[in-house]
């Protein structure tokens, strides 16, 4: 019974948070210089935000951070209701969301690009494939896709018995799943049924390393040279492919990469401003690179 | 195993205490109440959990969920722009993995129980019982890891399957997880058969195998069945290990080398990142209700069968 109550309470409070974030999109005025900065949003960025928290708190003992996931949409909605100070997002705010925030709070959401995330395509170490195009990936992962065997890609790979391509992806509530769908399949097309889905970025790499027939997508930070091979990705068949790297992600030649954002309501001040400045500083960007994401170029474009 | 019936406990108190003063009986009563509370708490928990799961799932179960699609479609795509909630593939996945696991675990478990209870020397028996208990103590995530890192390449090498995470892998892992349950419960059941049965059989000239097959099996029938059904329950409910061992791919399998996705693993993989209160969140609780119903059906069947057997024996 106690457990039931506890679960009820958790469920109810969750609902309450949701409702209030939808209904009342107004920002409570707060003293920005006080203690705790609340950060909520993207699941892709939870580990990164936690790494920031550890490094930042070590140098700023008077400021503490509270980091939560939930998804980019959840973070943006919570920002509008004034429940948090910073929303992390692996997608830009939609125009409608910006309008809502402006209408409800009178403040314009401020966007900070704090790094990039590149999704690498992984195959088994012995797989001879060097480059793959976005179109081919779509035929492997997409609904009614036409490619199901390695010979469809003109790859002769005897170590994979049967020659079938085993596409590996993420579970359907993951942000990576959503981004890969958008970047490779397009907004309209769904994934095909029967994909092997893994619950973590490193799980994808681990499974590919043990499965000769497999292909998988995961953040480039999870690359382990002794376990798997990274495939170059081309925008069109016939064009040169690019390996995911800090440079190719930044200049846009690597096609599956996206910016990572922080959002605040209005111009940040006090501790929040200090934190964002730190994130965009050399020290904060070092954490970005350590966590396997792409840091900002050395001279960050002033926002 | 079970506590003394209340009457005995109540009568025992004053005798042990020597006197019959109300003051002496007070701790006795308190403890009795406490124990009664413990007994009832199991029911409270079951109802509490069922209530919670049902309350989260019900809004979508009764408004919005197309039950025909739910049970007959294999299209599970809750995050698409036009979401589909077909769990046929997941149901077949759970079923296929459970059936294969039982095909392996029941003969293995019963065989082990018979050996431990009837044929082994006391020393070997103690050793084997400890070993089986240790098998039961391995956490399910470790089983999943074994499936993932060791069985996967082994199955690829042995069968030529394109990927070693499939029904076969999950069946083996689940069998190994269910065997300790089956062994210890059925060994208890065999031990509970009075020695006079065995002696009578020997006196009639029965061989050892005949004793097991003709005397012990019929006598211990209900206990053995309970053991098997407990094993089934373990296999259906297991989550973490099957999430890693099945390949977690939603499709109707055509061979035991195909990947599948189970009901439990779907909840585990998806619930953490859904938005609380939306359809995807609620449909996962509807699956929880379904799992409740399956568990209830398995237990009820077991109860009815066991009661039926007992009724026959007594009458």
Concatenated DSSP letters of chain A: -HHHHHHHHHHHHHHHHHHHHHH---PPP--TTSSEEEEEE-STTHHHHHHHHHHHHHH-TT-EEEEE-S-HHHHHHHHHTTS-SEEEESSPPPHHHHHHHHHHHS--EEEEEEEEEEEEEEEETT----EEEHHHHHHHHBTT-S--BGGGGT---TTSTT-B-EEEEE-TTSHHHHHHIIIII-SSPPBPTT-EEESSHHHHHHHHHH-TTEEEEEEGGG--TTTEEEEEEESSTTSPPB---HHHHHTT-SSSEEEEEEEEESS--HHHHHHHHHHTSHHHHHHHHHTTSBPPPSSPPP-
Contact B162 A70 (CB under 8 A): no
Residue A288 to residue A298: CA distance in whole angstroms: 13
Residue A171 lies in a domain: yes
Q: Are residues A128 and A198 in the same domain?
A: yes
Cβ contacts (< 8 Å) between A192 and chain B: which residues? Answer: none
The domain that holds A253 is classified in CATH as: 3.40.190.10
Cβ contacts (< 8 Å) between A78 and chain B: which residues? Answer: none
Contact B276 A171 (CB under 8 A): no
Contact B162 A166 (CB under 8 A): yes
Q: What is the pLDDT at residue A221?
A: 80
Q: Are residues A103 and A194 in the same domain?
A: no
Q: Closest Cα of chain A to B188: distance in Å?
A: 33
Measured between CB atoms, which of A5, A74, A190 is closest to B77?
A: A190
- Tell me the residue range of the domain where B99 lies: 88-314
Residue A25 lies in a domain: no
Q: What is the pLDDT at residue A193?
A: 87
Residue B68 lies in a domain: no
Residue B289 lies in a domain: yes
Measured between CB atoms, which of A161, A196, A212 is closest to B248?
A: A196
Q: Are A263 and A111 in contact (CB under 8 A)?
A: yes
Q: Closest Cα of chain A to B133: distance in Å?
A: 29
Contact A160 B49 (CB under 8 A): no
**Is any Cβ of chain B less than 8 angstroms from the Cβ of A194?**
yes
Cβ contacts (< 8 Å) between A177 and chain B: which residues? Answer: 79
Q: Are residues A199 and A241 in the same domain?
A: yes
Residue B172 lies in a domain: yes
A2-5 contact pairs (CB < 8 A, 24+): A3/B45, A3/B48, A3/B49, A4/B44, A4/B45, A4/B47, A4/B48, A4/B49, A4/B51, A4/B52, A5/B48
Contact A174 B275 (CB under 8 A): no
| pLDDT, tens digit only, all 315 positions of chain B | 444 444 444 444 444 445 567 777 888 899 999 999 999 998 999 899 999 999 999 999 998 899 999 999 999 988 877 889 999 999 999 999 999 999 999 999 999 999 999 999 999 999 999 999 899 899 999 999 999 999 999 999 999 889 999 999 999 999 999 999 999 999 999 999 999 999 999 999 999 889 999 999 999 988 898 899 889 988 998 999 999 999 999 999 999 999 999 999 999 888 866 766 788 889 999 999 999 999 888 888 878 877 776 666 654
Q: Are residues A170 and A262 in the same domain?
A: no
Q: What is the pLDDT at residue A4?
A: 47
Distance of CA B59 to the CA centre of its chain: 29
Contact A161 B52 (CB under 8 A): no
Cβ contacts (< 8 Å) between B251 and chain A: which residues? Answer: 193-194
Residue B234 lies in a domain: yes
Residue A251 lies in a domain: yes
Q: Are residues A91 and A163 in the same domain?
A: no
Cβ contacts (< 8 Å) between B153 and chain A: which residues? Answer: 210
The domain that holds B225 is classified in CATH as: 1.10.3720.10
Residue B146 lies in a domain: yes
Q: Are residues A136 and A160 in the same domain?
A: yes
Residue B36 lies in a domain: no
Q: Find the residue in B nearest to A75 (Cα).
A: B275
Residue-wise burial string across B85-98, b where 16 or more C-beta atoms lie within 10 A, e elsewhere: bbbbbbbbbbebbb
Cβ contacts (< 8 Å) between B74 and chain A: which residues? Answer: 193
Residue A11 lies in a domain: no
- For chain B, the domain total comes to 1
Cβ contacts (< 8 Å) between A41 and chain B: which residues? Answer: none
Residue A1 lies in a domain: no
Closest CA to A20 of A108, A107, A83: A83
Q: Closest Cα of chain B to A37: distance in Å?
A: 23
Residue A166 to residue A263: CA distance in whole angstroms: 38
> Which residues make beta-bridge pairs with B59?
none
Q: Are residues A243 and A172 in the same domain?
A: yes
Contact A70 B41 (CB under 8 A): no
Q: What is the pLDDT at residue B20?
A: 61
Q: Are residues A144 and A196 in the same domain?
A: yes
| pLDDT, tens digit only, all 303 positions of chain A | 344 444 444 444 444 444 444 433 433 434 444 578 999 888 778 888 999 999 999 989 889 999 988 777 778 888 887 788 999 988 888 787 888 788 877 888 999 999 988 899 999 999 999 999 999 999 999 999 999 999 999 999 988 888 999 999 988 867 788 889 989 998 889 999 889 998 888 889 999 999 999 999 998 888 888 999 999 999 998 889 999 988 888 888 999 998 899 999 989 988 999 999 999 999 999 999 888 888 988 754 444
Q: Are residues A283 and A247 in the same domain?
A: no
Cβ contacts (< 8 Å) between A172 and chain B: which residues? Answer: 77-79, 270
Measured between CB atoms, which of A161, A193, A199 is closest to B269?
A: A199
- Tell me the residue range of the domain where A159 lies: 117-257
ipTM: 0.73
Residue B69 to residue B286: CA distance in whole angstroms: 14
Residue B287 to residue B267: CA distance in whole angstroms: 8
| DSSP reduced 3-state for B165 | coil
Under the phi-then-psi rule, with left for phi > 0, alpha for psi from -120 to 50, and beta for the rest, what region is B64?
A: left
Q: Closest Cα of chain B to A8: distance in Å?
A: 7
Q: Find the residue in B nearest to A207 (Cα).
A: B148
> Which residues make beta-bridge pairs with B266?
none
Q: Are residues A249 and A174 in the same domain?
A: yes
Q: Are residues A277 and A190 in the same domain?
A: no
Residue B158 to residue B151: CA distance in whole angstroms: 10
Residue A20 lies in a domain: no
- For chain A, the domain total comes to 2
Residue A91 lies in a domain: yes
Q: Are A26 and A104 in contact (CB under 8 A)?
A: yes
Q: Closest Cα of chain A to B277: distance in Å?
A: 7
**Is any Cβ of chain B less than 8 angstroms from the Cβ of A210?**
yes
**Is any Cβ of chain B less than 8 angstroms from the Cβ of A211?**
yes
């Amino acid at each position: 019974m106690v457990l039931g109550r506890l679960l009820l309470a958790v469920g109810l409070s969750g609902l309450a948070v949701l409702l209030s974030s939808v209904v009342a999109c107004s920002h409570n005025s707060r003293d920005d210089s006080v203690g705790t900065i609340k950060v909520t949003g993207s699941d892709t960025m939870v580990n990164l935000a936690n790494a920031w928290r550890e490094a930042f708190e070590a140098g700023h003992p008077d400021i503490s951070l509270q980091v939560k996931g939930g998804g980019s949409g959840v973070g943006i909605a919570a920002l509008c209701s004034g429940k948090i100070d910073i929303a992390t997002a692996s997608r830009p705010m939609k125009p409608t969301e910006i309008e809502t925030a402006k209408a409800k709070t009178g403040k314009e959401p401020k966007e900070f690009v704090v790094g990039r995330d590149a999704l690498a395509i992984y195959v088994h170490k012995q797989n001879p494939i060097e480059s793959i195009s976005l179109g081919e990936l779509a035929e492997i992962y997409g609904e009614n896709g036409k490619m199901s065997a390695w010979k469809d890609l003109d790859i002769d790979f005897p170590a994979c018995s049967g020659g079938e391509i085993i596409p590996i992806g993420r579970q359907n509530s993951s942000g990576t799943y959503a981004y890969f769908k958008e970047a490779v399949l397009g907004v309209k097309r769904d994934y095909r049924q029967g994909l092997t889905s893994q619950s973590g970025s490193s799980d994808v790499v681990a499974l590919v390393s043990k499965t000769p027939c497999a292909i998988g997508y995961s953040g480039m930070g999870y690359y382990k040279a002794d376990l798997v091979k990274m495939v170059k990705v081309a925008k069109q068949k016939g064009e040169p492919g690019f390996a995911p790297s800090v440079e190719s992600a930044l200049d846009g030649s690597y096609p599956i990469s996206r910016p990572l954002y922080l959002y605040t309501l209005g111009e940040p001040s006090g501790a929040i401003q200090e934190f964002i400045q730190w994130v965009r500083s050399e020290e904060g960007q070092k954490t970005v690179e350590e966590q396997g994401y792409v840091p900002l170029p050395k001279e960050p474009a002033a926002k | 195993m079970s506590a003394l019936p209340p009457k005995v406990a109540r009568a025992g108190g004053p005798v042990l205490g020597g006197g019959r003063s109300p003051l002496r009986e007070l701790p006795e009563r308190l403890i009795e109440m406490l124990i009664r509370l413990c007994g009832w708490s199991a029911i409270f928990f079951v109802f509490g959990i069922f209530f919670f799961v049902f309350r989260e799932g019900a809004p979508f179960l009764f408004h919005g969920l197309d039950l025909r699609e739910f049970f007959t479609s294999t299209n599970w795509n809750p995050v698409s722009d036009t979401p589909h909630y077909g769990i046929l593939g997941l149901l077949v996945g759970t079923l296929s993995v459970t059936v294969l696991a039982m095909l392996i675990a029941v003969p293995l478990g019963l065989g082990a129980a018979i050996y431990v209870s009837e044929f082994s020397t006391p020393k070997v028996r103690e050793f084997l019982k400890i070993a089986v208990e240790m098998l039961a103590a391995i956490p399910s995530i470790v089983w999943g890891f074994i499936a993932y890192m060791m069985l996967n390449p082994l199955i690829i090498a042995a069968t030529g399957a394109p990927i070693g995470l499939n029904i076969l892998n999950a069946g083996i892992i689940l069998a190994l997880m269910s065997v300790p349950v089956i062994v210890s419960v059925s060994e208890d059941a065999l031990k509970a058969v009075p020695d006079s049965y065995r002696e009578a059989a020997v006196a009639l000239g029965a061989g050892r195998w005949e004793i097991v097959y003709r005397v012990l099996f019929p006598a211990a029938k209900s206990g053995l069945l309970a053991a098997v059904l407990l094993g089934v329950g373990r296999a259906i409910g297991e989550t973490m290990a099957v999430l890693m061992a099945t390949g977690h791919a939603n499709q109707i399998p055509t061979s035991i080398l195909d990947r599948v996705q189970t009901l439990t693993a779907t909840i585990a993989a998806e619930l953490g990142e859904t938005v609380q209160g939306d359809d995807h969140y609620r449909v996962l609780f509807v699956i929880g209700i379904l799992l409740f119903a399956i568990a209830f059906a398995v237990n009820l069947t077991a109860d009815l069968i066991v009661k039926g057997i007992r009724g026959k024996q007594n009458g």
